[in-house]
Amino acid sequence: MANLNDFTFFVHVVDHRGFAPAARALNIPKSTLSKRVAELEKDLGARLINRTSRRFAVTETGEDFYRHAAAMLIEAEAAENVVKGRLSEPSGAVRITASVPTAQLSLAPLLPELALAYPKIRVMLHATDRFVDIVQEGFDMAVRDHFAPLPDSGLVQRRVGSQSKLLVAAPAYLNQRGLPAGAESLAEHDGLMTSLISQGWLMEHRDGTSVEISPNPRFVADESRVLLAAALAGLGITALPGKLCQEEIASGALVHILPEWTAGKVTTTILMPHRRGQLPSVRAAVDFIAARLGDG
């Protein structure tokens, strides 16, 4: 098959009625243009242009070829414009994965708004607590809530927010055991912990001071909603992200104790394969999520 670039050169020569004006329009040497058209004629096995020093003439075969070649360039430009149009307005599927708690607490209120804001984006959320390899499994992004820094995985990481972990307990527990007078007195209380090997909580005061506290591990679970249920049952004191327990605090089902102290932070990070992060649909989704989660 002939070089399709030579089709373009030929069309320009015919449109400009000569090699010299076409060369100026394309900003290439006239000799290069003449050579490419000659190579095209050789590939096709037909004369397209009759060249003389005084006259420029397209052969009958050249006229037929020109109509099809020009139509091909128009279709090529139309195809390019289709892609540019898709790139200018976010569209297409955006595949997101997140843990079940992150999906329920953070993404459930946001993703319907995202779909409304960008009608041409098709939001696809996969909520799971198993490890997901977003590159191998074809996801555009993962939204992670984490306590420790994420390892360097070669993925693009965008930190979009953080929130403090609050100390909470049920009124029934506090009526029985008393309200802690200070951070140090937490060591005398039952703690609802995320791990048996945990050293407790690194407490941070609003004035910047910090202290490590190790309560008695009364109950252990590595899932925040289970710890919330245990706290509501009156088993002890636990540390939970603010947005997980804000309704219970507002209703009085839980008491926010030692409000001048926090027990660390939960950070939210979006991870993306580099190339997919450049797609307008993915950029729009990331910016949307980041703007609404924010720092807290």
pLDDT at residue 183, as a whole number:
92
Q: Are the C-beta atoms of residues 14 and 61 closer than 8 Å to each other? A: no
3-state secondary structure of 288: helix
Phi-psi region of 200 (alpha: psi -120 to 50; beta: other; left: phi over 0): left
Q: Which of 58, 88, 118 is the last residue of a domain?
A: 88
Res 67: pLDDT:
86
How large is the average pLDDT for residues 119-139? 89
Residue 123 above 70 pLDDT?
Answer: yes
Structural domain contains residue 153 = no
- pLDDT digit string, tens, across residues 38-87: 999 999 999 999 887 677 899 999 999 988 888 888 777 767 766 766 66
Query: For 170-181, what is the mean pLDDT?
Result: 95
Q: Which of 225, 230, 166 is nearest to 192 (CA)?
A: 230
Q: Which of 125-134, 197-206, 264-273, 281-290 bottoms out in mean pLDDT, i.e. has the lowest?
A: 197-206
According to the model, what pLDDT value does residue 1 have?
65
Instruction: Give how far the C-alpha of residue 105 lies from the chain's centroid of Cα atoms, to the nearest Å.
Output: 18
Domains identified in the chain, total number:
3
Least confident of 65-69, 110-114, 292-296: 292-296
CATH number of the domain residue 225 falls in: 3.40.190.290
CA-wise closest residue to 191 among 235, 256, 253, 244? 235
Q: What is the DSSP letter of 277?
A: G
- pLDDT band for 296, please (50, 70, 90 cuts): very low
61 and 118 part of one domain:
no
Q: Do 278 and 260 lie in a common domain? A: no
Spell out the SS3 assignment of 168-227. Answer: EECHHHHHHHCCCCCHHHHHHCEEEECCCCCCCEEEEECCCCEEEECCEEEEECCCHHHH
CATH number of the domain to which 78 belongs: 1.10.10.10
Mean pLDDT, range 25-46, rounded to an integer:
91
